[in-house]
Amino acid sequence: MKIALLSTHDLRGGAALAAHRLKQGFTERGAAARMIVLDRTGSDPGVEAFEGSRSATARAGRFAMKTLIAGQLGRFPRRRPFYPERGLMGRDLAERVSEFDIVHIHAVTQFIDLGEFLPAAVRRTRIAWTLHDMNVITGGCHYDEDCGRWRSGCGACPVLDSHEAADLSSRTWARKSRLFNRLSKEDICFITPSRWLSSLLQDHPFLGRFRREVISNGIDTTVFQPRPKDVIRAALEIPRDARVILFISEWTGDARKGGAELPALMKTLQEDDPRTLLLTAGKGASPADCRSRSLGYVSPELLPLAYGAADLLLLPSRGDNFPNAVLEAYACGIPVVAYAAGGIPEMVRSGETGRLVPVNDAPALLDAARALLQDEAGRIAMGRKARELAVAQYDYRKQAAAHLDLFGNLLGDPVSRP
């Protein structure tokens, strides 16, 4: 089976890492898998940076599209992450992937122009599409902040800080509606890591008729595994007796991920116990008004060390699908304290592998973190349970096998497992 995985990035961001892990799993199970991306930063020979046609016309077209997208988004300077369905690559990319049996789309904002790519691609190959957030189902936002306007056409988008009924979100939604309504319901199979996101698809105005499957993200439990905490802390110059709370985000100041809450939360916890330390991993500085340490951007190879130094992972996210950070923490034997947002309640077993609290209930989040920091025996027991769960349910090899079974079904040729 020949599989092309399409992603804007190969290693940057959770969606790209999830896709790359799957590619590795496919290859290990004998599939001819190749990852095709717009932005290649790693050295994996199985990853190809797609450049498209070098003709003057094609290059001018990509420049014009890039200018158009920048101009549209530039009208909304206060926006949170938002990308329309337009991108730099279209029919030439559909031509490139025509040799593959399955094209497995992941997060492809700014990479693929859906209006150009999908109608051409569905005539050449079978399409499976893993949704890592809400971008495909909305008018362009990645999480809708509970506005729900995508159910009836978007417009007056809070993510754009817009009050216009016919704004960019409304126009993008309308173009997506026309595009997907022209496709046959057999043309695409959507895969969601969480049942939460699948339920949103089920009721969607123009995506609800397509096939849906739920397959969770996976983790390499041989790379992410418990490590000697004292050794790692010594290497990172973190006091041995510190109570370390880990916060991981691509951008540590991301409001959706809860970065704005950290200073007040940490100040209170540090008043309780001066040994408490906030450890952050991601671009951006740690809060200046609390005891903290920033690791900055951490490569995937070194990321297990960040978990190895921590006592617990804090995830105050107000919107999330199936975050890799939970899987990584579990595999490293670290419990999780989180808001019960999106698909997170499907991952965190409150009282067993961590603690869940209602979204936006900061006092409850504080109490949950405080309780775990003070209960070393309970924290260690939760970490063991989390590790067991990661190995039993979330090893990336299991996820790869489940995907290959689905792809075989889509092709009408069930895959026999080695």
Total-model pTM: 0.91
Integer angstrom CA distances of residue 81 from 76, 160, 255: 11, 9, 11
Write the CB contacts of 284 (distance below 8 Å, at least 6 apart in sequence): 251, 252, 253, 259, 294
The answer to whether 155 touches 165, Cβ cutoff 8 Å, is yes
Give the ranges where 39-186 is alpha helix by DSSP (H): 56-74, 91-96, 114-121, 168-181
In which band, very low, low, confident or very high, does the pLDDT at 70 lie, cut at 50, 70 and 90? Answer: confident
Percent of the chain whose predicted confidence (pLDDT) is above 90: 79
Residue 413's pLDDT band (boundaries 50, 70, 90)? low
Give the tokens for residue 290: 């609390």
pLDDT band at 416 (very low <50, low <70, confident <90, very high): very low
CA distance 175 to 72: 15
Amino acid 415: pLDDT: 43
- Looking at every residue in the chain, the average pLDDT score rounds to 92
pLDDT 10s digits, 108-167: 999 999 999 999 999 999 999 999 999 999 999 999 989 999 999 999 999 999 999 999
Residue 191 in this model has a pLDDT that exceeds 60: yes
pLDDT score for 290? 79
